Amino acid sequence: MEIEPIGIIHTPFSSKEECPIQPLYSSDSPGRVEIFVNYEAGLKDIESFFHLYLIYQFDRAGLVELVRSTFLDDEPHGIYASRHPCRPNSIGLSIVKLIRRENNILIVEGVDMLDNTPLLDIKPYIPKFDAIVSASEGWTAGKQWRPKPEGRE
Ligand SMILES: C[S@@+](CC[C@H](N)C(=O)[O-])C[C@H]1O[C@@H](n2cnc3c(N)ncnc32)[C@H](O)[C@@H]1O
């Protein structure tokens, strides 16, 4: 399997400590999604959507642990029952708000990734396909984001 980045996500966050854990907690955070020019044609009609899925690589993630505590609590959870960045294949997924397109650059809000994160794919968020009103919050129900202890992955 070969996967190559299609662009780079530029954000205000240079360290994990200052980086929000989900777009929910960073809805105003500005980002610039730079698409490499050879993929620019694939952006046609993207302006018709308000929100986009960004699929990217956690390129600075630490060691993988299949069961571990998370940013929301100290209880161990399976990596596939969490959004923790230290995971096999290092894939991140965030829904951001599309503000506008400037040629091969997408101006977005709600970024929760480190500056210069490699972008792997973009898909439009389409409510009639994606919104599930009866979805469960699982073990995250009632949990709040806490400040990250220094040095914690
Ligand atoms: C909990 S993850 C959630 C990311 C995404 N919304 C998801 O659900 O896949 C967000 C955290 O990942 C870490 N992170 C963000 N970008 C990263 C990168 N490029 N490499 C390693 N870790 C990163 C930061 O600590 C950030 O607070």
pLDDT tens by residue, 7-57: 999 999 999 988 988 878 778 899 999 999 999 999 999 999 999 999 999
Q: Are 111 and 11 in contact (CB under 8 A)?
A: yes
pLDDT at residue 26, as a whole number: 76
Whether CATH 3.40.50.880 fits 7-126: no
With a Cβ cut-off of 6 Å, ligand 1 is lined by 16, 19-22, 58-61, 71, 83-85, 92-94, 112-114, 117
- Which of 114, 123, 140, 148 has most ligand 1 atoms within 8 Å of its beta carbon, as the pocket-test mutant? 114
Tokens representing residue 79 in the block: 């990596």
What residue spans define the domains of the chain? Answer: 7-126
Element (H, E) at 130: helix 127-130
- Going by pLDDT thresholds of 50, 70 and 90, the confidence category of residue 147 is low
Looking at this protein, which amino acid is placed at residue 34?
E
Atom of ligand 1 nearest to the CA of 59: 20
pLDDT tens by residue, 80-126: 999 999 999 999 999 999 999 999 999 999 999 999 999 999 999 99
